[in-house]
Amino acid sequence: MCGIVGIYGYGPVNQSLYDAMTVLQHRGQDAAGIITEQQGKFYLRKSNGLVRDVFRTRHMQRLIGHKGIGHVRYPTAGTSSSSESQPFYVNSPYGIVLAHNGNLTNADALAPSLFKSDLRHINTTSDSEVLLNALAHELQKRGKLEPTPDDIFAAVTGVHERCKGAYVAVAMISGHGMVAFRDPHGIRPAVFGQRTLADGRVEYMVASESVALDAIGFELIDDIQPGEAIYVDNEGSLHRYQCVPARELSPCIFEYVYFARPDSIIDGISVYKARLRMGEVLARKIQRTWADHDIDVVIPIPDTSRTSALELANELGVKFREGFIKNRYIGRTFIMPGQQQRRKSVKQKLNPISLEFKGKNVLLVDDSIVRGTTCEQIIEMARDAGANRVYFASAAPPIRHPNVYGIDMPAVSELIAAGRTETEVETAIGADRLIYQDLEDLIQATQTSKADVRRFECSVFNGNYVTGDVDTDYLQRLENRRNDKTRQNKDPVDDSGLIDLHNDY
């Protein structure tokens, strides 16, 4: 999962891009990059690390220009190296840079085709570079020195015809403008907004989540619709076009469960309100299946589950307490590369307040259970802090299937609920009782009559992949390539960050 941002402005955009990426840091902590344009030249800085660590004053001073795009990354496809941090650049035609969130399910087949048919060289293992070269080739086919908006949209249509999977992208075409587009199913989120200056000129911004627009004073216009592209030309005019017929809008439900910030609105749905409702319906399940419960206190696993846990406690009429203090300088353990690093970080990340546990029957609430690493250790911490009994509730259903659309859940063998009953998971994590959300309840909690979403991408829970091109062989290849054991056995990669385009400052 990654975060993208693009700004077309009338003043320097480097600081605004930095601020927006900081707001989107929760979407990726592996690498960060910004590229700006001035007078047809690109200026790039990207490297491994958090936004605050990648960019220093000397970098910001060299990121000149009134247009730019940014990216925060965590690794799914590709490796955790600075050579695969984004944005990516290709010099022909025009000079194009691109930042991407999602995963192309046909990247392995498309990359050789781009080389053999289109004579385009792919230099990394990243599917984002494949997407960039597909866009570049489609623009090249137009054969125009001065592409029109229709040419841009025709190129994006060609990309949709060639690329499968989940993707949103924002790109800059040197000397021409900024384009952003979303896959025909709308799996990954993307919004755009505007800011009107005192002189009446309008600046435009694209981002993964609406909270990034809020943070730097842009007004939300709309979500980019499935199969739609928006283009801001070099005159500052905004163009919208439905490049391919939209399939049924199917946003990833895990965005609402875990990834997105609660103050974001995705496809017309408030993430905060969705999480409130998740806690409410989970409480109703407890009342329905465990009416004589002896829960003394509800404690959230910070931070994502706090909203759901609070509403669950209110619905049950049980005390809500903050039992864990979070070290905010440790990254999100779920999106850390490698099981060993995730396991090591849990106890560095959380510390229990013993008085909230001692002698009590505690219900711990988390947003989901993926590998089981975090919850197993947290349950042990609760017992060590003096809890009498430790129950565990997940605001999401059991995760039993890999994700192929940009979330790092590639290996069935790493998912604790895969091949296990809920009782077996309960035993594996050491809980006295485990309560999972039902999928039907999760969908009900996330839906709202004010939004047009009637279907969600729920493959990690039910194994139904909405793009229709994922089979057993594909899943096995993905697991072989991206499980933790394979990553640990890879040769070391040079992470010096020495790349072209004025990046080595």
CA pair distance 98, 174, nearest whole angstrom: 11
Q: Is 494 annotated as a binding residue?
A: no
Picking from 420, 390, 404, 418, the residue whose alpha carbon sits closest to that of residue 465 is 404
Helix ranges, 163-246 (H): 210-215
Is 150 annotated for ligand binding?
no
Query: How far apart are alpha carbons 322 and 303 in whole angstroms?
Result: 10
In whole angstroms, give the CA distance from residue 165 to residue 98.
17
243 is annotated as an active-site residue: no
Q: Is 118 annotated as a binding residue?
A: no
Q: What phi, psi does 494 have (nearest 5°)? A: -70, 115
Coil vs helix vs strand at 141: helix
Rounded to whole angstroms, the Cα distance separating 378 from 380 reads 5
The rounded distance, in Å, linking the Cα atoms of 24 and 86 is 15
Contact 103, 404 (CB under 8 A): yes
Edge to edge, the sheet with strand 165-173 lists: 88-90, 96-104, 165-173, 177-182, 228-233, 238-242
Amino acid at 417: A
DSSP run (H or E) holding 252: none
Which of 2, 243, 252, 375 is flagged as catalytic? 2
Torsion, Cα of 351, 356, 362, 364 (10° steps): -40
CA distance 396 to 432: 19
Residue keyed to tokens 């307040």:
353
Q: Are 453 and 267 in contact (CB under 8 A)?
A: yes
CA distances from 461 to 71, 130, 228, 390, 397 (A): 28, 29, 28, 25, 6
Residue ranges for the known binding site are 304, 366-367
Residues annotated catalytic, as ranges = 2
Residue ranges for the known binding site for Mg(2+) are 304, 366-367
